[in-house]
Amino acid sequence: MQDFGFYNPKYDLESSEAYKNRLEDLRRRQKEMVKSKVATTFNHNWTVNGSKSEGKKMVTDAVNLAIRSFNNECDATISKVTVANISSSEKRIIKAFETINKLNRVTSTEIKKAYLDLKIEELYLALEYAQKLETEKEEQRQIREQMREEEKVRREIEKLKEKVEKEEKHFTQAISKLEEQKTNATGDQLAELEAKIFELQNKLNEVLEQKEDVLNRERNTRAGYVYVISNIGSFGEDVYKIGMTRRLEPMDRVKELGDASVPFKFDVHAMIFSEDAPTLENILHKTFTNNRMNLINDRKEFFRVPLQEIKRVIEDNHDKTVEFTLTALAEEYRESRSLREKSLEQENIPV
């Protein structure tokens, strides 16, 4: 499976720090084997021109050269390891091990299998370490994105609170003044004042309802919108992003997504308010987990699934009526395609 870009971790340690420590320990063990002269086997009794000291020097040089050559080959291979080439990288290290041992057969010098095993272990640990680092970077990016999103929500709520409290104060003061004027009013004037008070009271009631909604949103951090959007020009038919936002104006979030690294705007198929938006979003993500476009990174929220299926799952798990737009307008994409086709037709018109 590794040849096709799939990789099942051998070690699956919990953090990059754990991988780093494991690698440091492994490399320390390798150095210990070399230093203690147990990384290789060699002939202790070799002589050169009858000299044991010359023979010992020749064997020492051969051992050092073998270890250095093998380490260099391993380091070069490990530094470039990826999921796509992990199998061939392991074969390359084994091939280097066999070749170096074969070349040193004349001096009876051989790198031990135990040392090779440590290098193979280092290869796989290095790959998983790099993967874990990438995963942690993505998680940190997501956390920063979430923090920015929450800060935007906080500012929106504060701004709206300020607005409704200002309106509440305005209407309350206006009603109070009219009530004072009523004490000396009679007949038509009194009736007119009462009508104005009634009108202002209705407006004040609306403001108080808005204020209560804002306070509820501030208290309930799980309230928000689950959205279903598509971008045919960028991702093709039947591909939908299912996400959530706590924004008071959820379309602001959709607009941001459309401005970020995609050539066309998103079409909105559903915008569902929920008192527990994360749970509804999670149900949808789990239901369509096998339909994910990216099966490696769960934080990518794109799914290839019929819109009717998404609609059915939402209706089964949401107790309020949801309006769905089943047709994607994809206006910018369709207009762009039309202009491109016209341009090609004009180029093919014979002169």
- Write down which residue in 188, 219, 250 finishes a domain: 219
Q: Count of domains in the chain? A: 3
Residue labelled with tokens 């009530």: 179
208 in a domain, yes or no? Answer: yes
Residues 36 and 130 in one domain: yes
The pLDDT assigned to 350 comes to: 59
Tell me the CA distances in angstroms from 46 to 33, 75, 104, 247, one per residue in order: 22, 31, 14, 80
Q: What is the mean pLDDT of residues 121-131?
A: 96
The pLDDT assigned to 142 comes to: 75
Residues 208 and 283 in one domain: no
Mean pLDDT for the chain overall: 89
The pLDDT assigned to 145 comes to: 79
351 in a domain, yes or no? Answer: no
241 in a domain, yes or no? Answer: yes
- Write down which residue in 204, 219, 234 finishes a domain: 219
69 in a domain, yes or no? Answer: yes
The pLDDT assigned to 315 comes to: 92
The pLDDT assigned to 131 comes to: 92
271 in a domain, yes or no? Answer: yes
Q: Is the pTM of this model over 0.85?
A: no
Residues 237 and 318 in one domain: yes
Domain that holds residue 329: 224-341
pLDDT of residue 3 exceeding 60, the answer is no
Residues 86 and 22 in one domain: yes
The pLDDT assigned to 340 comes to: 86
Residues 9 and 58 in one domain: yes
Residues 185 and 234 in one domain: no
pLDDT of residue 68 exceeding 60, the answer is yes
Residues 32 and 92 in one domain: yes
Q: What is the mean pLDDT of residues 39-50?
A: 82
The pLDDT assigned to 34 comes to: 95
Local confidence band at 91 (pLDDT 50, 70, 90 cut-offs): very high
The pLDDT assigned to 5 comes to: 55
Q: What is the mean pLDDT of residues 5-20?
A: 87
Residues 13 and 134 in one domain: yes
What is the tens place of the pLDDT at every residue in 146-201? 777 888 888 888 888 899 999 999 999 999 999 889 888 888 888 999 999 999 99
265 in a domain, yes or no? Answer: yes
pLDDT of residue 1 exceeding 70, the answer is no
pLDDT of residue 275 exceeding 90, the answer is no
Residues 158 and 247 in one domain: no
Residues 240 and 213 in one domain: no
What is the tens place of the pLDDT at every residue in 134-143? 988 887 887 7
Chain-centroid distance of CA 260 in Å reads 15
Residues 322 and 231 in one domain: yes
pLDDT of residue 244 exceeding 60, the answer is yes
- Write down which residue in 194, 219, 244 finishes a domain: 219
pLDDT of residue 349 exceeding 70, the answer is no
Q: What is the mean pLDDT of residues 55-63?
A: 86
Q: What is the mean pLDDT of residues 326-343?
A: 87
The pLDDT assigned to 94 comes to: 97
pLDDT of residue 2 exceeding 80, the answer is no
114 in a domain, yes or no? Answer: yes
What is the tens place of the pLDDT at every residue in 311-330? 999 999 998 888 899 888 88
Q: What is the mean pLDDT of residues 48-59?
A: 82
Report the C-alpha gap between 112 and 90 in whole angstroms: 16
145 in a domain, yes or no? Answer: no
Residues 69 and 37 in one domain: yes
Local confidence band at 241 (pLDDT 50, 70, 90 cut-offs): very high
